[in-house]
Structure 1
Amino acid sequence: MSIQLSVDIDNIKGFLAASEGEALFHLATKAAPLGACLEVGSYCGKSSVYLGSACRESDNILFAIDHHLGSEEHQPGEEYHDPDLFDNGAQLMDSFRTFRANIRAAELEEFVVPVVAPSAIAARRWNTPLGLVFIDGGHSREAALTDYRCWARHIVPGGFLAIHDIFPDPADGGQAPFEIYQLALASGQFELVEMVDTLGILRRI
């Protein structure tokens, strides 16, 4: 089923395939009766627009967690460094200004709540039940495990855990997202719903 967005999603920087974004949109719609949505790793807002647009339709909220300083692979000299997002004055990556502009253009400011902080700090006093958690933060083993351990426990029964960039074959990509996907299944608390390209969708039992 095609979806309607308020912006041209192809103009937003990011690494989410259209099929994965549409799957997130429909997943957020299903999750709405269960609780708020939350994503870890917003970058410039591509996934936030998909999830936030679903929240707008269902009168829900998306909490968008990101320190906006870029993951390891976004730093100067690394493979996915984008000089347009580098703050020369601060000598730091900073995707927050671009993120805010994209959320504003998509008319989602009432439905997307940015939390500009590292995942572990944002989770420290978190008490809001969640219907959907989407993990797409740092892809180091430490970062992925932190995101999973901080947020999966807040998903209500029947709620969803979505993990991006799952590559079972190490030749195709980094293994940290695949590791937390396996960890979730091995916990006995989650069951696989479907895979959409590299997006794994699980349900809290």
Structure 2
Amino acid sequence: MTDNNIAVSVIMPTYNRADLIGRSIKSVLRQTMPDFELIIIDDASTDNTEEVVRSFEDDRIVYIRLEENHLQVHKETGMGDNPRNVGLRRARGRYIGYLDSDDMYRVNFMEEMVRFMDQNPDLGLAYCDAYWHRNLDGKGELSNCNLSIEFGPKIMTIRNIIRTPTVLHTKEAGEKVGFFAPIKTRVPHEGVPYIGPEDWDYWLRISKHYKVKHHAVILVHKINETSDYYNDPDFDPEFQTPEPPPIQVLPESKDIFHKMSTAYEFVQLFEKLKHIEGWLNMTDGYVLHLLAKAGRGSGEIVEVGSFLGLSTCWLALGAKAAGREKITAVDHFQGSAEHQKGAKAECKVLVKQGTTYNQFQENLKSVDVDDYVNPIKASSTEAAKTWDKPIRLLFLDGGHEYESVKADWEAWSSFIIPGGYVAFHDVDTWPEVSKFYYEMLDQNPEYKPVMAVHSLRIVQKAMD
């Protein structure tokens, strides 16, 4: 039953997180919206997690300790419930959120998400964006914005675009779909080979009965491994908030009309390109458009992995608008493994025609850039063997296997001019792409990351 006096029930499962859970709890207690309950499910921790939790004297905290660890129970008996389900049975709020015991809310998470849900009463679930922190092999903090994309049933059958701590769903939706799958395993789902971990499955089940919407505001800190340092002053370890600066009335920015025209340009391009199928987020596409249009240096623009031409069109429209270099589009036009018949991202055009090249050409013509693209129908490594021109912008979006990304980089990186840009797609969404990207940064200090948008990562080569 829902308690009308409680807006949000936050469910926090934990196991042996005595060294981390304190800061997660503090991030909940510090919320600007006070009417919540924090339900902590201790999965039979063997450290002093309970002592840490009980040190917070706040009657909004509900502490439940399980007698046996659910994973151990499953290992021994094949049984064992998901600790989040214990929280769901206990939750009384109108809305339910999930915060793991190493992640943190920003101070206005509840206030902003509840406002968003209240203003959209047809929603069953909403999700926001996050800062994603990583401590990679002790090499210091790496924090970037983990920006999600608009919800779509099709994309959700291929990858999970919803991070667990960014979620708020109605109590009604939870009661409708029931509980999480019992253990962390890949969960089969109707119509697809698998959906993945139990949270992915749960969001998809809710979406079959309720409307789901993305709230494009950064309200969460998502932590990978043990990360002790945060660039965001919102999370001082003791929450010592500095005095706010005096209110200032700033003069109007000299480039305000330029910014207005940029926003208008994005909308116009979005409308022009939205009919083209592809996996490139429109914001990522606009970043490529701006790099092609206004990126520094003199040299060629090379795209590796053109598929149906969505990214090609973004690049070509940018270069053509500025009268700069044409786009060299390198692709064998046979698709990757995931695009083949019966695969998780099956491409109907490829299955029907045996190639994406004809549709690629049609898409270029539909936005009047076929005269501004030089396609090379070959594999990336074969095309690079005869290449001898400097490159000012390289976009890598070919195969998603580690060796494939590595081969593309080794084939083309020697042509990048000093100060030139390389854009990597699908970082932090495809594990093998991510693995190579971070290794490349570690091994090539002359390349520095300059921007992260969705799964697009832009690096720039140092000047001589």
Contact 1:62 1:112 in 2 (8 A): yes
Q: Shift of the alpha carbon at 1:137?
A: 0.6
- Aligned CA distance change for structure 1 residues 35 and 135 (closer, same or farther; 3 Å): same
Contact 1:49 1:106 in 2 (8 A): yes
SS in 2 for 1:132: strand
Match of 2:401 among 129, 140, 154: 140
Q: For 1:111 and 1:179, locate their aligned partners in 2 and report how far apart those are by CA, in whole Å.
A: 34
Q: Which residue of 1 aligns with 2:368?
A: 107
Say if 2:464 is the partner of 1:203: no
Match of 2:434 among 173, 178, 190: 178
Match of 1:27 among 291, 307, 321: 291
Deviates more, 1:28-37 or 1:110-119: 28-37
SS in 2 for 1:8: helix
Say if 2:271 is the partner of 1:10: no
Q: For 1:138 and 1:98, locate their aligned partners in 2 and report how far apart those are by CA, in whole Å.
A: 20
Q: Shift of the alpha carbon at 1:188?
A: 1.2
Q: For 1:178 and 1:84, locate their aligned partners in 2 and report how far apart those are by CA, in whole Å.
A: 28
Q: Shift of the alpha carbon at 1:176?
A: 2.1
Q: Which amino acid aligns with 1:39?
A: E
Question: What TM-score results when the alignment is normalised by the length of structure 1?
Answer: 0.90
SS in 2 for 1:192: strand
Match of 2:329 among 64, 67, 90: 64
Gaps of 5+ in 2: 1-261
Question: What TM-score results when the alignment is normalised by the length of structure 2?
Answer: 0.41
Q: Which residue of 2 aligns with 1:170?
A: none
Q: Which amino acid aligns with 1:184?
A: M
SS in 2 for 1:151: helix
Gaps of 5+ in 1: 168-172
Q: For 1:30 and 1:151, locate their aligned partners in 2 and report how far apart those are by CA, in whole Å.
A: 21
Contact 1:71 1:138 in 2 (8 A): yes
- Aligned CA distance change for structure 1 residues 141 and 24 (closer, same or farther; 3 Å): same
SS in 1 for 2:329: strand
Contact 2:340 2:350 in 1 (8 A): no
SS in 1 for 2:371: coil
Matched pairs, number: 196
Q: For 2:440 and 2:393, locate their aligned partners in 1 and report how far apart those are by CA, in whole Å.
A: 14
- Aligned CA distance change for structure 1 residues 7 and 98 (closer, same or farther; 3 Å): farther
Q: Kindly report the root-mean-square deviation, in angstroms, between the aligned alpha carbons of the 2 structures.
A: 1.6
Q: Shift of the alpha carbon at 1:41?
A: 0.6
Q: Shift of the alpha carbon at 1:32?
A: 6.0
Aligned residues with identical type, % of pairs: 30
SS in 2 for 1:50: helix
Match of 1:43 among 303, 307, 313: 307
Q: Shift of the alpha carbon at 1:7?
A: 6.9
Rg larger in structure: 2
**Mapping for residues 87-102 of structure 1, pairs under 5 Å:** 87=352, 92=354, 94-102=355-363
